[in-house]
A and B are shown apart, each in its own frame.
Chain A
Amino acid sequence: DSGVTQTPKHLITATGQRVTLRCSPRSGDLSVYWYQQSLDQGLQFLIQYYNGEERAKGNILERFSAQQFPDLHSELNLSSLELGDSALYFCASSGGAGSFYEQYFGPGTRLTVT
C-alpha cells in the first residue's frame, strides 16, 4: 500500500460525458501528479500540482483539467469524453516539488468510455 488513495476504482461512462477522478496523497506529501496509461500510448504524464499550484504540465488535453485543494487532495476532471479517453488514470504523490523526487503511485482509476 503506497498510501495514495484514488476513487473510484472503476468508472464506466458514455461519450460526451464528464467525470471527476479523486486522489488523496500520502500524508505530508505536497506534490500530486496525474498520469494516463493506455495500451497504445503507454504511461504519459499529464500534470503536476505542488501545494495547490500547478507546477508542470505534460500531455494534458484541453478537455481535461485538474486542481489541488487546500487539504492537498486533487481532482482530475475529464469532459466531452471520447472513446480514446478509455485508460487507466494514476495519481502519484511526492514530498517535494522538484523533478524526480520519489513518487508513490496510487492504485489507479480504470475509465471505460462507451
Chain B
Amino acid sequence: TQLLEQSPQFLSIQEGENLTVYCNSSSVFSSLQWYRQEPGEGPVLLVTVVTGGEVKKLKRLTFQFGDARKDSSLHITAAQPGDTGLYLCAGLRGTSYDKVIFGPGTSLSVIP
C-alpha cells in the first residue's frame, strides 16, 4: 500500500508566527500538489510541483519538492487567520490519475 504521510496532524499557532508542514512518502512521485480545504467546502488547489528540488512561492506560502521527489514541505510566513484550514498533499505516480494518493492532511488553526 502506498502511503503519503503528513506532519504534524494538528497545528495551532498565533497570528504572525511562521510554520512548516511536511508531506513524506517512500514512493517517488512524478508530481505533487498541495490543497487547502475549509470546513464544509471542497479542496482548493494551491500549487503543483513537478521537478525535484523545485521551489514555488505563492505570496506568504513557499512550497518545496524534495530532490528525490518523495517529499514536500509547505512553509507559511506570518500566518493569518485566513490560513486556517486542512492542508492536503496529493502525489501522483506515473501519468495516470488512478495512481494518485492523498495524505491525511494537516489541520491548521491560526488564532487572532
Contacts and interface: CB of A to CB of B under 8 A. Distances in A.
B103 interface: yes
A90 B90 CA distance: 15
Interface of A: 2, 4, 33, 42-45, 48, 55-58, 90, 92, 98-100, 102-103, 105-108
Contacts of A92: 42
Given A43-B43, A45-B102, A102-B48, 10 more contacts: A2-B42, A33-B97, A42-B88, A48-B97, A58-B100, A99-B30, A100-B97, A103-B45, A105-B43, A105-B44
A21 to B, nearest CB: 13
B97 A55 contact: yes
B31 to A, nearest CB: 5
A88 to B, nearest CB: 9
A75 B105 CA distance: 27
A55 B96 CA distance: 9
Nearest to A43: B102
A99 B45 contact: no
Nearest to B6: A42
B98 A98 contact: no
